[in-house]
Amino acid sequence: MPLSEDDIRVDLACGVGADGHWHGWFGVRVDAEALRRLGLHPDQPSAAVTGPSPPGWWHAAAERQAR
């Protein structure tokens, strides 16, 4: 794996929402130097968005297939 355990931090927050159901949120953080080694750091030009976002139907289809 290109990243070590020290390069990645995963946090979980849980709580009861306004609807009374439990909800959980994940936060994933990766060390900037680890991203730089892979050519993925946000300061690098290749990390910038260069075109329009795919259409809404594309996102909906991807979400259906993920289930």
Domain count, the chain: 1
Strand partners, 11: 27
From the list 55, 65, 9, the residue with the least C-alpha distance to 34 is 9
Look at residue 46 in the predicted model and tell me its pLDDT: 66
- This prediction's pTM: 0.49
Range of the domain at 60: 5-66
Q: What is the DSSP letter of 2?
A: -
- Residues 9-65: pLDDT tens digits? 999 999 998 999 999 999 999 898 888 888 787 677 666 677 888 888 888 888 888
Tens digits of per-residue pLDDT, 2-11?
A: 888 899 999 9
pLDDT for res 66: 80
Q: What is the pLDDT of residue 54?
A: 80
Query: DSSP secondary-structure letter at 45?
Result: G
Residue position matching structure tokens 């909906």: 60
